[in-house]
Amino acid sequence: MKNEMWLIWKHPEKRRRYKIGVLTYENEKYTFNYVNPELDDARQEGFDCFPGFKDIKKTYTSEKLFANIETRLPNPLRPDYLQVLNSYDLEDNSSKLEILKATRGRLLTDNFEFVPSFDKNKIEFDIAGTSHSTDVEDNKDKIKKNDKLLFELEPDNKYDKYAVKIILKKDGKCYHLGYVPRYYSENISALLKDKVDYSAMIQKVNFSSRFTDGYINVYVKLIFKTEKNTRSK
């Protein structure tokens, strides 16, 4: 079974995210490649390389998770290791790849993260821009796990032409929580334009997260018309 994750770099000042690489696990082998077109865009904005992968043209391979990625995972020797895993809904026997998917390999010391590649059947992500949302800041007590969410296209967004707003409708009011992350926005906006049915809900809320983009985690299930048509026959 093929597992794929995208390496994302966030500009330290502009906060824009770029998909710059792909990590793949298949046939018991890990592979990493840098990818365009956003790699070139990121390099124009000051990106150099991911630590340990200096050659942007090279295909890196390993039978084990690359050491420069493994060091981004929680250290099994730390006394609160099991508590850390539990905070991500992980078991103590979770694989390194499962831990990477859950933690995103984020560090406070840089602007990299690994995210699952887009899955047209289901996807999970942290809402982008929550730290800039006054609706989030002023209504934290109203934002709860399992709340249903709505997506809304924002084609005039000057930062992302595929921008998708995330709205919480509650008690007769609408709260703008943030946006679909830019690395998924093109895929999700295309599905919305095709009038694909979907359900979206808040899976986790953590306003004490050290990562502001980790405030609100969303689970999205996409229901395709072809599936609906198949079931209706």
For the stretch 3-60, pLDDT in tens is 999 999 999 998 899 999 999 999 999 999 999 999 999 999 999 999 999 999 999 9
Identify which of 58-62, 75-79, 127-131 has the greatest average pLDDT. 58-62
Do residues 128 and 201 both lie within one domain? Answer: yes
The mean pLDDT value for 188-195 works out to: 93
Q: Domain boundary residue among 66, 87, 116?
A: 116
What is the rounded CA–CA span in Å between residue 151 and residue 191?
11
Q: Which residues, including other chains, have CB under 8 Å from residue 32's CB and lie 6 or more apart?
A: 7, 21, 22, 23, 24, 53, 59, 60, 61, 66
Other beta carbons within 10 angstroms of residue 39's beta carbon come to 19
Whether the CB-CB separation of 187 and 102 falls below 8 Å is answered with: no
Do residues 36 and 128 both lie within one domain? Answer: no
- Name which residue leads in pLDDT, 44 or 132: 44
Do residues 88 and 171 both lie within one domain? Answer: no
- For residue 58, give its domain range: 3-116
Do residues 171 and 97 both lie within one domain? Answer: no
Question: In percent, how much of the chain has pLDDT > 70?
Answer: 93
> What does the pLDDT read at residue 162?
96
Q: Domain boundary residue among 90, 116, 142?
A: 116
Predicted confidence band of residue 219 (pLDDT cuts 50, 70, 90)? confident
pLDDT at 232 over 50: no
Q: Domain boundary residue among 95, 116, 137?
A: 116
Distances (CA, A) of 203 to 89, 108, 176, 217: 11, 23, 17, 6
The mean pLDDT value for 175-201 works out to: 93
pLDDT at 107 over 80: yes
> What does the pLDDT read at residue 225?
52
> What does the pLDDT read at residue 110?
94
Domain count, the chain: 2
pLDDT at 211 over 70: no
What is the rounded CA–CA span in Å between residue 87 and residue 132?
25
Whether the CB-CB separation of 23 and 60 falls below 8 Å is answered with: no
Pairing mode, strands 216-223 and 197-205: antiparallel
What 3-state class would DSSP assign to 91? Answer: coil
Predicted confidence band of residue 228 (pLDDT cuts 50, 70, 90)? very low
H or E element in which residue 30 lies: strand 29-34
> What does the pLDDT read at residue 231?
45
Do residues 101 and 142 both lie within one domain? Answer: no
Do residues 144 and 221 both lie within one domain? Answer: yes
